[in-house]
Amino acid sequence: MSSFVIHNPVRLMFGRGQVDALGPQVPDGARVLLVTGGGSVERNGTLARVLDQLEGRAAVIEHLRGVQPNPEYEQLMAGVALARQRDLDLVLAVGGGSVIDGAKFIAAAARFEGDDPWAILASRATVASALPLGVVLTLPATGSEMNHLSVVSRSELGLKLSFASEHVYPRFAIVDPDVTVSLPQWQVANGVVDAFVHVLEQYVTPPVEAPLQERFAESVLQTLVEYGPRTWTNPQDAPARDAVCHAATWALNGVVGAGVPQDWSTHMIGHELTALYGLDHARSLAAVLFQNFELRMESKVWRLAQLAERVWGVRSGTELERAQLGLERTRAFFRQLGVATSLAEYPDVRDDVADVVVARLAERGITRLGEGRSVDLELVRRIVQTSRHG
Ligand code: NZQ
Ligand code: ZN
C-alpha cells in the first residue's frame, strides 16, 4: 500500500430530516445562487423546505433552474454570469450528481481569472479558488456531494470532460434519504450501479496488500448488494434507503481509494458513450465493465476471485473459476435491477462505435487508460467492440 493523504473537508449531514437543519450552515446575509435540475425538487417538496431554511438568512437568492442530466456547459455559463453580475457568495446545489457537478463548475468558473473558463475542463487549467459551495443531495449515486470532482458536457463539441479541484469540495453536504423517495426505479438502479462501479474502479486493481482498504470496499459493495434491491423494489423501505445513500457517498469520497491503485478506464470509456449516445452515466459503465474485466482477466483475476469470495460468498473452484463466477454474479445483480450489460442491448449504438470512441480519445491525446496506463487504444477498441457484439 502506498503513502496517502486524506483531507476531506466536507461537513456531511446525514439522515432523515437533515434538510431542515440546513439554515445554520448558511451565513447570515449570504448572497445565494440556488442551482436545481429539471423540476424534481419542486415536485417532491425539497425546494420548498430549502427555501424555508434560507428565509431570514439569505440576503439575495438567485435561482438557476433546469440543469439537465450530464450538465451542459452553456447552461452553466449562465449561472457563472449570474454569480458574477450579482456578486453572489454561496452556490447551493439541490439535486443529483448533475446539479452538484454543475454547481461545482459554476463555483470554480465564477472565480476563474483566465480568459475562458472552458480551459478548466479542456486543458485542466488550475483552479486557484472557487465560490463556497453547499449541497443538498437528492440522488445517491455519484459521491459528488463529498468529493472534489465534476463532470461537464458540451454537446455542441460532443465532449464530456471532468476536472478536480480541492476548492470545489462542498462546505457542507446534506444527505437526507427522505428526499430520495420520489426517485423513479430507473434512477435508483442507476445510483446503485454507479456506486458499485466506483468501488470496483478502486478495488479490482493490481495486487497490493491493503487489508483495511479492501474491507472498506467490500463493506460498501456488500451494503449495495443487500440493500440496493430492497430500495429498488420498495422506496418506502427507509432502512434500505438510508443504507444505499450512505454507501453511495462513501464509495467515492476518497477513503476507499486511499493508498491503492485505481483503474477508472470503465468510466473513461463510459463518458465517451454518454457523449455519443446520451446513455445514462451508470448504464454507460455497465455496458463495458464486464468486457473490460474479461479482456484483462490476467491482471484482475486475483481480486475478482476475492470479490467472488467475500462479496458473493463463492467458496469453491480454481482462482479463475471463482473470478469468472464473481463477474457473473455481478452481472446478474445489475440485470436484476434492469440495467443492460452490453452495448448490443442499445439499438441506437452503431457498428462503428469502437472506432469512434478510439478516434475521440486519440484526438484528445489520450493513448492509455487504467491502472499503470495498461489499457492502450487497441484494447479500448476490443472492449467496446466485444460489448457492441454482445
Ligand atoms: O433534473 P431533475 O428534475 O432534478 O431530475 C433528475 C434527473 O432527471 C432526477 N432526480 C434526481 N433526484 C430526484 C430525481 N427525480 C425524482 N426524485 C429525486 N429525488 O434524476 C435524473 C438524473 O439526475 P442526475 O443528477 O443526472 O443523476 P446522477 O446523480 O446519476 O448524476 C450523473 C452525473 O454525474 C456525473 C456523471 O457523469 C453524470 O454527468 N458523475 C459525477 C461524479 C463526481 N462528481 O464524482 C462521478 C461519477 O462517476 C459521474 O461521472
Ligand atoms: Zn460514476
Distance from Cα 305 to the centre of ligand 1, integer Å: 32
Distance from Cα 324 to the centre of ligand 1, integer Å: 31
- Tens of pLDDT along 15-44? 999 999 999 999 999 999 999 999 999 999
Which atom from ligand 1 is nearest to the alpha carbon of 37? 1
**200 pLDDT above the threshold of 90:** yes
Label residue 207 by pLDDT band (50, 70, 90): confident
- Tens of pLDDT along 98-130? 999 999 999 999 999 999 999 999 999 999 999
Label residue 14 by pLDDT band (50, 70, 90): very high
- Tens of pLDDT along 276-315? 999 999 999 999 999 999 999 999 999 999 999 999 999 9
- Tens of pLDDT along 212-235? 999 999 999 999 999 999 999 999
Distance from Cα 370 to the centre of ligand 2, integer Å: 15
Label residue 2 by pLDDT band (50, 70, 90): very high
Distance from Cα 141 to the centre of ligand 2, integer Å: 7
Mean pLDDT of the region 153-179: 97
- Tens of pLDDT along 232-281? 999 999 999 999 999 999 999 999 999 999 999 999 999 999 999 999 99
* Cut 0.95: pTM above it: yes
Give me the residues near ligand 2 (ion), CB cutoff below 5 Å: 194
Which atom from ligand 1 is nearest to the alpha carbon of 180? 19
Q: Is the CB of 90 under 6 A from ligand 1?
A: no
Q: Which three cell numbers stand for residue 69?
A: 442530466
Q: Is the CB of 54 under 6 A from ligand 1?
A: no
